[in-house]
Chains A and B, each alone.
Chain A
Amino acid sequence: MNDQTVSTMSAMKALLRRDLMIALRERGDMLQPVLFFIIVVSLFPLSVTPDKTLLMQAGPGIIWVAALLATLLALDGIFRPDHEDGTLEQLVLSPHPLSLLVLAKTLAHWLVTGLPLILISPLLGVLMQLSGDAIIVLSCALILGTPALSLIGAVGVGLTVGIRKSGVLLSLVILPLYVPVLIFGAGAVQATMVTLDPQPHLLLLASFSLFSLAVCPLASATALKISVN
């Protein structure tokens, strides 16, 4: 009954630090989504066309789809290892609100998998022949959009964590929910390229992420409670 000895805030901080430490200890795992991201994007010119104008047109969409897949690939790591070693049950049983703990874990996951994607995206923009403006908008869009990917993804992982082999199932469950992010994210970059204002897209993307921030932690907490017990 030591529930009030640790405040929820410091519990969240501790959880965040723990998850980041684990990620840093296994840097190889951290690199994998980024490498996947780069490889998928570079496959498109080989499979579609190396033609400059066509690549420019398809580039934003390709980069966004690849970012989405890379996030999806790394998503299981958010709860699965903790589920396997029993940490997750401790979290569910802890006196702190589970949704906030989930939020801390999601933040850690985004820092480990989402942020590297954003950092590498200008390079991929260059590979896809995007202009300077478009690359800046692409990075902004990824900054605003990838949190939503992680937040929604956490719900999906929460729901499937009790299933042994959930690889494809997770994508089936999650990908339809990613549609708005994809549309607004890729739309922002495409708007810049036809010299339109990307701001409405970015604002919509930001509001979608904020909305996910409000709803998803609660949903993932409920999902985890269902999956764990």
Chain B
Amino acid sequence: MTTESLNSSSRGKKWLWFHRFGSPAWVYGFASRWAMPIGVVALLLFVVGLYQGLVVAPPDYQMGDSYRIIFIHVPSAWLSMFSYFVMAVSAGIGLVWHIKVSDLVARSVAPLGAMFTFCALVTGSLWGKPTWGTYWVWDARLTSELVLLFLFIGYIALSNAIEDRRTASRASAVLALVGLINLPIIHFSVEWWNTLHQGATVTKLGRPSIDTRMLIPLLIMFFAFNFYFLSAMLYRLRCELLSQERRTQWVREIVND
């Protein structure tokens, strides 16, 4: 009996720190403290990763130096999907549990996600020209990425079109969740469509085991991108928090300092 109550109380304490994330003032402080250090880590990782990727890594025996686009293409593509996931989940949390901070996280991730998707598309097509001979191939992955960009655009357009900020967050959360459910189906349908129209994709390059000297920069760049994402998101979140909470006491205190 006593142990049980002790357990539950300690569990309660363990969760206490988590509740702070629901407080805009605390999250603002958190973001201000961490955005810069995380950004610096990202910058260092970028420097190392770019050096490793562009100078140290040897050229590919098939694609020559053009493969070096992989070091920015793959992390962008990963982050484009990851941001959609983060955006939809935090929008969903905001919708269900009415947590303001969660809404604002979704709002600050959306433009970043659109940017990563755009980067993945541009680098993909610039990589496509030397490997496939054209800038655009209706390849399954590129097409999925394009649809993802449309989903991001729809989300941003909807949340900008509704004037009341709360209504905007809630309405676009529904859209994000519907999109999240739909995304695997869209991906599957595009893959299915792609296998039926094989003519479009020319030589799919075989996937031989990747050289460690190429793998290391890819991993470093992957982490660099993730840290960049985190830092940029915290910076954006700070702005969102300020403009959402402009009438509260804590914002006044920060502004007056």
- Residues of A in contact with B (beta carbons under 8 Å apart): 152, 155, 159-160, 162-163, 166, 169, 172-177, 179-180, 183-184, 187, 191, 204, 208, 211, 215-216, 219, 222-223, 226-227
Known contacts A177-B179, A215-B178, A219-B174; is-contact A169 B161 (Cβ 8 Å): yes
Q: Are A176 and B167 in contact (CB under 8 A)?
A: no
A216 to B147, CA, bound (A): 20
A175 to B158, CA, bound (A): 13
A53 CB, min distance to chain B CBs, angstroms: 16
CB-CB < 8 A to A159: which residues of B? Answer: 158, 171-172, 174-175
Known contacts A160-B161, A183-B193; is-contact A172 B154 (Cβ 8 Å): yes
Q: Is B181 an interface residue (CB 8 A)?
A: yes
Known contacts A180-B185, A183-B190; is-contact A172 B153 (Cβ 8 Å): yes
A214 CB, min distance to chain B CBs, angstroms: 10
Known contacts A159-B158, A223-B171; is-contact A183 B177 (Cβ 8 Å): no
Q: What total count of A-B pairs have CB within 8 Å?
A: 80
Known: A160-B161, A163-B162, A179-B189. 5 other contacts (CB 8 A): A162-B162, A176-B186, A180-B182, A180-B189, A227-B167
Q: Is B141 an interface residue (CB 8 A)?
A: no
A163 to B161, CA, bound (A): 7
CB-CB < 8 A to A227: which residues of B? Answer: 167, 171
> What residue in chain A is nearest B144 (Cβ atoms)?
A179
Q: Are B189 and A176 in contact (CB under 8 A)?
A: no
Known contacts A179-B186, A180-B185; is-contact A155 B157 (Cβ 8 Å): no
Q: Are B175 and A215 in contact (CB under 8 A)?
A: no
Q: Is B26 an interface residue (CB 8 A)?
A: no
A216 to B175, CA, bound (A): 11
Q: Are A222 and B174 in contact (CB under 8 A)?
A: yes
What count of chain B residues pass the 8 Å CB interface test? 29
CB-CB < 8 A to B55: which residues of A? Answer: none
A172 to B156, CA, bound (A): 10
> What residue in chain A is nearest B169 (Cβ atoms)?
A226
B31 CB, min distance to chain A CBs, angstroms: 27
Known contacts A169-B157, A172-B157, A173-B154; is-contact A226 B171 (Cβ 8 Å): yes
A69 CB, min distance to chain B CBs, angstroms: 16
CB-CB < 8 A to B150: which residues of A? Answer: 172, 175-176
Q: Are B154 and A176 in contact (CB under 8 A)?
A: yes
Q: Are B175 and A180 in contact (CB under 8 A)?
A: no
A-B interface, 8 closest residue pairs, ranked by CB to CB distance from nearest: A176-B150, A180-B189, A173-B154, A183-B189, A183-B193, A226-B170, A172-B154, A159-B171
A172 to B159, CA, bound (A): 12
A61 to B186, CA, bound (A): 17
A169 to B154, CA, bound (A): 7
A174 to B155, CA, bound (A): 10
Specify which of A173, A175, A187 lies most central, judged by the most chain B CB atoms within 10 Å of its CB.
Answer: A173
Q: Are A173 and B158 in contact (CB under 8 A)?
A: yes
Q: Is B196 an interface residue (CB 8 A)?
A: yes
A181 CB, min distance to chain B CBs, angstroms: 9
Q: Are B157 and A223 in contact (CB under 8 A)?
A: no
CB<8 Å pairs between A and B, sample of 18: A152-B178, A159-B158, A159-B172, A159-B174, A162-B162, A162-B171, A163-B162, A166-B161, A172-B158, A176-B147, A176-B150, A179-B190, A180-B188, A184-B189, A187-B192, A187-B196, A215-B181, A216-B178
CB-CB < 8 A to B189: which residues of A? Answer: 179-180, 183-184, 204
A107 CB, min distance to chain B CBs, angstroms: 20
A143 to B183, CA, bound (A): 24
- Report which of A172, A173, A174, A219 forms a contact with B177, defined as CB distance below 8 A: A219
A174 to B151, CA, bound (A): 9
Known contacts A169-B161, A176-B154; is-contact A187 B193 (Cβ 8 Å): yes
CB-CB < 8 A to B196: which residues of A? Answer: 187, 191
B184-220 Cβ-contact flags toward A at 8 Å (1 or 0)? 0110111011001000000000000000000000000
CB-CB < 8 A to A155: which residues of B? Answer: 174-175, 178
Known contacts A172-B153, A172-B154, A173-B154; is-contact A183 B192 (Cβ 8 Å): yes
> What residue in chain A is nearest B193 (Cβ atoms)?
A183
A227 to B186, CA, bound (A): 27
Q: Are A226 and B174 in contact (CB under 8 A)?
A: yes
Q: Are B174 and A177 in contact (CB under 8 A)?
A: no
Known contacts A176-B151, A180-B186, A183-B192; is-contact A162 B178 (Cβ 8 Å): no
CB-CB < 8 A to A173: which residues of B? Answer: 154, 157-158, 175
